[in-house]
A and B are shown apart, each in its own frame.
Chain A
Amino acid sequence: LAPWIPVVGLEIHAQISSNSKLFSGSQVQFAAPPNSLVSFFDASLPGTLPVLNRRCVEAAVMTGLALNCSINKKSLFDRKHYFYADLPAGYQITQQRVPIAVNGSLSYSLYVDNKMSQMVTRTVRIKQIQLEQDSGKSLHDDTRSQTLVDLNRAGVGLMEVVMEPDMCCGEEAAAAVRELQLILQTLGSSQAVMAEGQLRVDANVSVHHPGEPYGVRTEVKNINSIRFLAKAVDYEIQRQIKELENGGAILNETRAFDSKLGCTVPMRDKEGKQDYRFMPEPNLPPLILYDAKSLPANMNHQQVVNIDWIHERLPDLPSVKRVKLVEQYGILPEHSFALLNEDGLTEFFENVVKHTQMKPKKVIGWILNVLLSYLKQHSLTVKESPVSSVLLADLLNLLEKKEISSTAAKQVLAELWKGEGKTPLEIVKEKKLELIQDQKELEQICQAVIDGQENEVIMMVLG
């Protein structure tokens, strides 16, 4: 059987973290009472006009720079038309002709095998980033034959990030999205929490034989977590392979991921072959951005967005942070990945290191193997950890000073998890876990043991 090459591309919508919406002044807030955050413009009242939100532009520029894109100094807005209950104007304002950023790349890493022992780095090309409006939400109430529409989300700013089909499987897609998520959170341009709909991923999947042209692709939607993304992509790849090997054909369709069944199903064809009748948005002039070179001398700094100014103020991206951690603490790259992968874990680690004499190379084991697995077992975040970094540092100090054994340390930790407010030292004393350092005392104890077990000792000596 000829080998199959799976091809995976992604369309990611990230909600911009801003106080107000992309084209209007109403607030952006998750889970507010329905239709409480809707301006006249959001409701598409006739005669209202869009006014571009500067913060959203800056967020998109930051993200574009972080993804190594070229920022288009002139970009345009367009209308994309279709009728749907959650789209009050009958069109979405987006950037179809000339988006704000193009031709970037994202590097991500993943473990080569299940043993989590070695990491490889891959790159995915970023085709473009465009600014566009989010739609409202509609809930279908079939029992009462009605549709409930909430426009709170209508008009919220989105960055659509298009990743080229450079990925080959669910794991790669998941790793790429995870890295993007971390970058967005570091920049602050999006909070990127998938569970709150701030990051939505659609996957484009196809398979083909080596040397042949790309196969027909399907679009997979309704993916609600990074874990499900990997599952959905892998399922779809297998489905397509099976279908083709059975002599069938792949339809260019949209499929939804069913997380309960773990499979993709064709979506109810709500649009058919849509012609979106793209048209320039006549109420928004071209978006002009400046850099240090093109900035006119007398231009008010408040009036314009300066790409160079934003570039200078970018925070350290995750990749940079990881390198710094490895250099500073002598830990492995794999360790730095794990640290950054968990919200707050890096800070926890650094705080422990600050307060202990134990070498970071040893501390990291306690953090990643002991602390993290405990947290995972109990579904806790780092913030919710009953053991604070200072407490753990105290414990590690006892270990480092050889006042307790590592077995004892683990016992102490088990007590500390209970979160009863006792210090490690108190627990050690309570449970009499002190390591005995005195040679004479040790000899006495050993002798007592031997004395009590004469027969066993003779047997042992005789071999």
Chain B
Amino acid sequence: AALKGKVWRFQVSAALKEGRVTPGELCQRCLALVRSTSFLNAYITVAEETALKQAEESERRYKRGQPLGVLDGIPVAVKDNFNTAGIETTCASNMLKGYISPYNATVVQKLLDQGAVLLGKTNLDEFAMGSGSTDGVFGPVRNPWSYSRQYKEKSVPKSHSEDEESNWVITGGSSGGSAAAVSSFTCFAALGSDTGGSTRNPAAHCGVVGLKPTYGLISRHGLIPLVNSMDVPGILTRCVDDAAVVLGSLAGHDPKDSTTIQDNFKPFELPDLPDVSKLSIGIPKEYQAPGLSSEILALWSKAADLFKNAGAKVIEVSLPHTRYSIVCYHVLCTAEVASNMARFDGLEYGHRSEINKSTESMYAATRREGFNDVVRGRILSGNYFLLKQNYENYFIKAQKVRRLIANDFLKVFGSGVDILLTPTTLSDAVPYMEFIKEDNRTRSAQDDILTQAANMAGLPAINVPTALSERGLPIGLQFIGRSFQEKQLLTVAKWFEKQVKFPMIQLEEVKRPNHNVFQHEKSASFS
């Protein structure tokens, strides 16, 4: 596939500032797009009223010449596992259907304080457990690229009508809704979460930038946890510069989150012309994992060459404990899940079963009705690993293995390597019908292999859309950096982005029964 396309930046901010478009207009257009792309099922809740209000207030500020910053008036979306005051927060689960949180997550508050316009809450795998965004209670998210000219041109049509209905591909997960929302132009940035790759994976499949920051850099207060010791809020945008801007508005110590670092964070701007010639790029050989498509392997190699030709030092490195990360993750993740989900008992909030013969029977029924199989399965596994007789052999062992995995990275970074370059996913996005042939656990185990270790070690990592696959679908590559060295990481990512010039999605006119036809030309010309 040709490596060309446009790189988006918050050029729209300039447009807002200059008055070429108003926040109100921008908000309306995005909301219209949300409506016309509703078949993607990227949004669970669209907060139209509040969004328009926020846009109005932003407009007033621009008229006074006092915008709050670059994000003022910019429509954003937030994954539905972040608390948003007054707007439903469901985690795509029956357990929290109808739950209206009384407080904003810190990151949500920060966005709002910067004047961002919150369009709505995006779809995900239930409680962020999954790698396809297919296992939520509101149904699966469809990858916008399923409806792109690039994909349609390459797909072998069985029959016209069958095509569109059965051939659509997944977004990846668990932040699929956010990735789809950004990819389909409904918003300019979205928040996801990343515990084992849940931001980077869908970013790769949807052709957007997906940033996983260093653990402890961004507050988790208000992010409904999956694995407290690995979760981070993730940032999805259409270009690296935008990710840097959003990072700048979110990072920093939060007294409400005791796991955020105390150091003062300084927001940074990326150089216009990044220079990578002095860098050392590591290629971890273990990331040539079984199942890695030859396409992606070739692309990875090409990318390495790009760096070499630019004068960077590119060397093969080893992270020997990589292959243990999945099984280690399963133990630690399920253990924390069992613990974190214990609060869902139907008493204080959320779903409560009608069965109330006794407190215990109410708990059991509530949790059976409220959680899907994936969640229940992880709770059972996790409780097993935490039993007294198993704790030493499973939980403690996994913690030790986690330390070994983290040390692998320390060694490599300590030996002079600045950034690691790896694939993000094993293949491009698979069709939904194929994806659901395997269960959630199997899929997660397969799909997390390239992204998981960074969560183990708490390191920052980013997916940069690189090229289209033979099927016309996005392939991304991943950069992993040193702790709290986001500036360096994003600088390298920006350089790479400029080199590959990933093509813009060409969303086709789609004629669907009961859906409005939408034009792609208008939406592409935002900036």
B349 and A43 contacting across the interface, CB-CB below 8 Å: yes
A91 and B342 contacting across the interface, CB-CB below 8 Å: yes
B387 and A277 contacting across the interface, CB-CB below 8 Å: yes
Question: Which of B91, B228, B342, B388 contacts A282 (CB under 8 A)?
Answer: B228
Measured between C-beta atoms, what is the minimum distance from A73 to chain B in Å? 18
A89 and B222 contacting across the interface, CB-CB below 8 Å: no
List which B222-243 residues lie within 8 A (CB) of chain A.
222-225, 227-229
A283 to B89, CA, bound (A): 22
B359 and A47 contacting across the interface, CB-CB below 8 Å: no
A285 to B224, CA, bound (A): 19
A382 to B123, CA, bound (A): 67
A79 to B337, CA, bound (A): 13
A83 to B229, CA, bound (A): 23
Known contacts: A45-B101, A85-B359. The answer to whether A50 contacts B258 by CB under 8 A is: yes
Residues of A within 8 A of B363 (CB): 83
A275 to B391, CA, bound (A): 11
Residues of B within 8 A of A46 (CB): 83, 89, 91, 96, 101, 224-225, 343-344, 349
Contact with A along B314-348 (1 / 0, CB 8 A): 00000000000000000000011011011111011
A277 and B386 contacting across the interface, CB-CB below 8 Å: yes
Within 8 Å of chain B (Cβ to Cβ): is A81?
Answer: yes
A277 and B383 contacting across the interface, CB-CB below 8 Å: yes
Known contacts: A47-B225, A90-B343. The answer to whether A52 contacts B258 by CB under 8 A is: yes
Measured between C-beta atoms, what is the minimum distance from A23 to chain B in Å? 9
A45 and B102 contacting across the interface, CB-CB below 8 Å: yes
Residues of B within 8 A of A49 (CB): 220-221, 256-259
List which A280-318 residues lie within 8 A (CB) of chain B.
282-285
Residue of B with least CB distance to A281: B228
Contact with B along A398-439 (1 / 0, CB 8 A): 000000000000000000000000000000000000000000
A107 to B227, CA, bound (A): 46
Known contacts: A43-B348, A85-B359. The answer to whether A275 contacts B388 by CB under 8 A is: yes
Question: Which of B105, B391, B395 contacts A47 (CB under 8 A)?
Answer: B105
Within 8 Å of chain A (Cβ to Cβ): is B255?
Answer: yes
B258 and A47 contacting across the interface, CB-CB below 8 Å: no
List which B94-142 residues lie within 8 A (CB) of chain A.
96, 101-103, 105
A88 and B348 contacting across the interface, CB-CB below 8 Å: yes
A47 and B222 contacting across the interface, CB-CB below 8 Å: yes
Measured between C-beta atoms, what is the minimum distance from A24 to chain B in Å? 10
A285 and B258 contacting across the interface, CB-CB below 8 Å: yes
B343 and A44 contacting across the interface, CB-CB below 8 Å: yes
Residues of A within 8 A of B224 (CB): 46-47
Residues of A within 8 A of B258 (CB): 49-52, 283-285
Question: Which of A43, A279, A284 contacts B386 (CB under 8 A)?
Answer: A279
Residues of A within 8 A of B344 (CB): 46
Chain A interface extent, by class: 20 to 34
Known contacts: A49-B220, A49-B256. The answer to whether A44 contacts B225 by CB under 8 A is: no
Within 8 Å of chain B (Cβ to Cβ): is A228?
Answer: no
A88 to B350, CA, bound (A): 13
Within 8 Å of chain B (Cβ to Cβ): is A214?
Answer: no
Within 8 Å of chain B (Cβ to Cβ): is A4?
Answer: no
A149 to B347, CA, bound (A): 9
Residue of A with least CB distance to B358: A145
Measured between C-beta atoms, what is the minimum distance from A301 to chain B in Å? 16
A263 to B47, CA, bound (A): 62
Residues of A within 8 A of B257 (CB): 49, 283
Question: Which of A52, A83, A85 contacts B342 (CB under 8 A)?
Answer: A83
A311 to B49, CA, bound (A): 58
Question: Which of B255, B349, B387 contacts A45 (CB under 8 A)?
Answer: B349
A285 to B391, CA, bound (A): 21
Residues of A within 8 A of B336 (CB): 279, 282
Residues of A within 8 A of B220 (CB): 49
Within 8 Å of chain B (Cβ to Cβ): is A366?
Answer: no
Measured between C-beta atoms, what is the minimum distance from A195 to chain B in Å? 28
Residue of A with least CB distance to B105: A47
Residues of A within 8 A of B89 (CB): 46
Residue of B with least CB distance to A277: B386
A447 to B224, CA, bound (A): 100
Most chain A beta-carbon contacts within 10 A, residue among B224, B339, B344, B386: B339
List which A139-158 residues lie within 8 A (CB) of chain B.
147, 149
List which B49-90 residues lie within 8 A (CB) of chain A.
82-83, 89
Within 8 Å of chain B (Cβ to Cβ): is A48?
Answer: yes
A50 to B256, CA, bound (A): 8
Measured between C-beta atoms, what is the minimum distance from B174 to chain A in Å? 16
Question: Which of A44, A51, A283 contacts B348 (CB under 8 A)?
Answer: A44
Residues of A within 8 A of B96 (CB): 46
Residue of B with least CB distance to A24: B256
Question: Which of A40, A48, A88 contacts B347 (CB under 8 A)?
Answer: A88
Contact with A along B196-231 (1 / 0, CB 8 A): 000000000000000000000000111111011100
Most chain B beta-carbon contacts within 10 A, residue among A40, A43, A46, A283: A46
Within 8 Å of chain B (Cβ to Cβ): is A278?
Answer: yes
A147 to B347, CA, bound (A): 11
Known contacts: A83-B342, A88-B343, A90-B342. The answer to whether A283 contacts B228 by CB under 8 A is: yes
B343 and A47 contacting across the interface, CB-CB below 8 Å: no
Residues of A within 8 A of B83 (CB): 45-47
Residues of B within 8 A of A90 (CB): 339, 341-343, 345
Residues of B within 8 A of A50 (CB): 258
Measured between C-beta atoms, what is the minimum distance from B474 to chain A in Å? 31
B349 and A89 contacting across the interface, CB-CB below 8 Å: no
B343 and A89 contacting across the interface, CB-CB below 8 Å: yes
Measured between C-beta atoms, what is the minimum distance from A152 to chain B in Å? 14
Residues of A within 8 A of B395 (CB): 279
B221 and A83 contacting across the interface, CB-CB below 8 Å: no
Known contacts: A83-B363, A284-B258, A285-B259. The answer to whether A45 contacts B228 by CB under 8 A is: no
A79 to B391, CA, bound (A): 14
Residues of B within 8 A of A285 (CB): 258-259
Residue of A with least CB distance to B83: A47
Question: Which of B255, B343, B386, B391 contacts A51 (CB under 8 A)?
Answer: B255
B348 and A277 contacting across the interface, CB-CB below 8 Å: no
A91 and B391 contacting across the interface, CB-CB below 8 Å: no
A48 and B345 contacting across the interface, CB-CB below 8 Å: no
Contact with B along A193-208 (1 / 0, CB 8 A): 0000000000000000
B223 and A83 contacting across the interface, CB-CB below 8 Å: no
Residues of A within 8 A of B101 (CB): 45-47
A82 to B347, CA, bound (A): 15
The 29 sampled A-B contact pairs (Cβ below 8 Å) are A45-B102, A46-B83, A46-B96, A46-B224, A46-B349, A47-B82, A47-B101, A47-B223, A49-B221, A49-B256, A49-B257, A49-B259, A51-B255, A51-B256, A79-B339, A83-B342, A83-B345, A85-B347, A85-B359, A89-B343, A91-B339, A91-B342, A275-B388, A277-B339, A277-B386, A279-B386, A279-B395, A283-B258, A285-B258
What is A's interface to B at a CB cutoff of 8 Å? 40, 43-52, 79, 81, 83, 85, 88-91, 147, 149, 275, 277-279, 282-285
Closest 10 CB pairs of A and B: A90-B342, A277-B386, A282-B228, A282-B229, A44-B343, A46-B224, A47-B222, A47-B224, A89-B343, A47-B83
| 7 further A-B pairs in the complex, CB-CB below 8 A; given A90-B342, A282-B336 | A44-B343, A45-B102, A47-B221, A47-B222, A49-B259, A275-B388, A277-B339
